[in-house]
Structure 1
């Protein structure tokens, strides 16, 4: 059973964050080889052409030792950057090629890296998360979805595994009682995620349940009668 995850990494040592902090773009798209080679120093970066970031602008950043403009793709300018990597980054991605596969390019923002990856199982993801934390990189989980084939044990209402886990915990701890017997901060601590991530899981899970229930044939027949 594979696990599809969406998460945000944040740390002062993450490469390329300085581009969005010191130069005009709010975010950049990045393709890198760290998941395949832990000391990879070549990064392909796509920046909106209207932002007008030059090779000189990129090379002025401390972490960029060389910048070459390759060309254009649609409305984006493609740059090949040679990056001076922090030792901790190389260690974090050590072994990543066997544990996970990237689904989409990394999105770099002032808050860090947004990534979407597939792990072979939950344990592989947790090992990756622990490795990040051990090297001072925070991992804020946004979503986790099982990609196994549907079965009799499929989760109800089309919920993801992580949404189901968060909703079940919240219900069992009295979050939905009046007055509430727990808080999102306490629930987030139990799941080892941030409070905003827990809130997003509950909100999306609640929306999914409501959407499934209100669109059911039984409900529609009742309304139309």
Structure 2
């Protein structure tokens, strides 16, 4: 296996730059590179963009989650900063230092921070998840998949399972009350009622295992 990728979302209140993001309308942040040392200091290179960046440095100076802010470049209206993240970075330190994780991408705005994180294996992801839960760090886990799979097969779904879930959702199978029953779905997909039932059961199991319960190996018989 080439490692495990997790796509997660943190709110600004759970991470850094909440004050700055709230103060500067339309601010968008993208991490160029992030490193952490053995002391747990996280030092990112961060691109920022907004309709109006005037006064941004003053706002950053007042933001208690960052320190040592330095403007490195101003290119076509975007600004590149280096800074120290000094608060609310426990989860990221756990990933980078203790679990040998890598930040593949990170972007943030008023809606939250979106991360793609690479772990050596699923156990590393599971330990990070346990650490966050035990320390009250809230995040949304959107996807877990093998790096070798890319974005295909994420959540552990086969192509047939993913197609079936999408069709079931579009036809209103998950509505209350249902707009389509299993018999109608099976007929549309030209498979038996039993085959559809088994496919949905295995798809639901994969979704639970790869979102709600992480760090456990799939049953090879499934």
TM-score, normalising length: structure 2: 0.60
User: Whole-Å Cα distance in 2 between the matches of residues 74 and 126 of structure 1?
Assistant: 41
Residues 89-132 of structure 1, C-alpha deviations (whole Å, 9 max, x = no match): 3466236344422222x212234321112222222212212212
- 1:178 equivalent to 2:171? Answer no
- 1:103 equivalent to 2:96? Answer no
Question: Residue 122 of structure 1 corresponds to which residue in structure 2?
Answer: 122
Gapped regions of structure 2 (runs ≥ 5): 184-196, 213-222
Aligned-residue offset at 1:192: 7.5
Out of 153, 164, 168, the position equivalent to 1:160 is 153
User: Whole-Å Cα distance in 2 between the matches of residues 43 and 148 of structure 1?
Assistant: 27
CA contact (8 A) 1:11 1:136 kept: no
Out of 72, 75, 91, the position equivalent to 2:74 is 72
Are residues 191 and 95 of structure 1, via their aligned partners in 2, closer, same or farther at CA, if it must alter by over 3 Å?
closer
Question: Residue 20 of structure 1 corresponds to which residue in structure 2?
Answer: 21
Are residues 95 and 23 of structure 1, via their aligned partners in 2, closer, same or farther at CA, if it must alter by over 3 Å?
closer
Listed as ranges, the matches of 1:51-90 within 5 Å are 51-53=52-54, 54-86=56-88, 89-90=89-90
- 1:140 equivalent to 2:145? Answer no
CA contact (8 A) 1:48 1:76 kept: yes
Are residues 148 and 82 of structure 1, via their aligned partners in 2, closer, same or farther at CA, if it must alter by over 3 Å?
closer
Gapped regions of structure 1 (runs ≥ 5): 150-157, 195-225
SS at match of 1:62: coil
Residues 119-146 of structure 1, C-alpha deviations (whole Å, 9 max, x = no match): 2222221221221222222232222222
User: Whole-Å Cα distance in 1 between the matches of residues 86 and 148 of structure 2?
Assistant: 39
SS at match of 2:64: coil
Are residues 74 and 126 of structure 1, via their aligned partners in 2, closer, same or farther at CA, if it must alter by over 3 Å?
farther
Are residues 61 and 164 of structure 1, via their aligned partners in 2, closer, same or farther at CA, if it must alter by over 3 Å?
same
SS at match of 1:117: strand
User: Whole-Å Cα distance in 2 between the matches of residues 188 and 112 of structure 1?
Assistant: 26
Are residues 92 and 75 of structure 1, via their aligned partners in 2, closer, same or farther at CA, if it must alter by over 3 Å?
closer
Are residues 37 and 16 of structure 1, via their aligned partners in 2, closer, same or farther at CA, if it must alter by over 3 Å?
farther
Residues 56-103 of structure 1, C-alpha deviations (whole Å, 9 max, x = no match): 1211223334432221245411122344324xx346623634442222
Are residues 122 and 50 of structure 1, via their aligned partners in 2, closer, same or farther at CA, if it must alter by over 3 Å?
same
* Alignment RMSD: 3.9
